[in-house]
Amino acid sequence: MLSNALVWRESHELRRQFQLGTNDWRVISALASRPGSSATEVTEFLGLNKAVVSKSVNTLLERHLLLLIDGPRGSRPMYLTQAGAEMHDAMLPISMRGQEIILADLSSSEVEQLNRLLRRMLEKARELQPFENEPDL
């Protein structure tokens, strides 16, 4: 429920201010921290469906916020354009605001404990198989 509330708030503000959604922001953010990543690498890094990343990449290409170049062995590295880097900087405070809201009433030791717990949960979540690979019950 907490995740849904944060994503809804963020998505609403990103659409209102920039006409881009949360998935578009995730791709922009991933490329800001990992320039030159391919769509496959962004998909794996974010843990999103390939179709979701592909749709966002196409949207961002149309808006001239990222560019694809020809890389070795047919790869297609992606980079933010200057406009894309500026969009990242403009969108970042909206994304960070959700974290600020959640952490506002926690002490520094509680934040450290929460971060440790979230890292452990994320490690476990990465072990999960997609539903289609699970046996029928």
**For the segment 85-124, what is each residue's pLDDT rounded down to a tens digit?**
999 999 999 999 988 988 999 999 999 999 999 899 888 8
Per-residue pLDDT tens over the stretch 36-85: 999 999 998 888 889 999 999 999 999 999 999 887 776 789 999 999 99
> How far is Cα 115 from Cα 133, in angstroms, rounded to an integer?
30
Arithmetic mean of pLDDT over the chain:
89
The pLDDT score that the predictor gives to residue 130 is: 61
pLDDT over 70 (residue 134) = no
> How far is Cα 36 from Cα 90, in angstroms, rounded to an integer?
21
Q: Is residue 137 part of a domain?
A: no
Give the phi and the psi of residue 49 in degrees, each rounded to 5.
Answer: -65, 145
> How far is Cα 67 from Cα 112, in angstroms, rounded to an integer?
37
Q: Which amino acid is at 112?
A: E
Q: Is residue 15 part of a domain?
A: yes
Structural domain count, the chain: 1
pLDDT over 80 (residue 14) = yes
Structure tokens at 55: 């749709």
Q: Is residue 135 part of a domain?
A: no
The pLDDT score that the predictor gives to residue 137 is: 52
Q: What's the pTM value of the predicted model, to 2 decimals?
A: 0.81
Give the phi and the psi of residue 68 in degrees, each rounded to 5.
Answer: -105, 140
Q: Residue 32: which domain range?
A: 2-129
Q: Is residue 134 part of a domain?
A: no
Q: Is residue 125 part of a domain?
A: yes
Q: Is residue 29 part of a domain?
A: yes
At 63, which CATH number? 1.10.10.10
Q: Is residue 85 part of a domain?
A: yes
Give the phi and the psi of residue 129 in degrees, each rounded to 5.
Answer: -95, 150
> What single DSSP character describes residue 135?
P
The pLDDT score that the predictor gives to residue 70 is: 80
Q: Using alpha carbons, list the distances in angstroms from residue 4 to 47, 63, 70, 121.
A: 17, 27, 37, 17
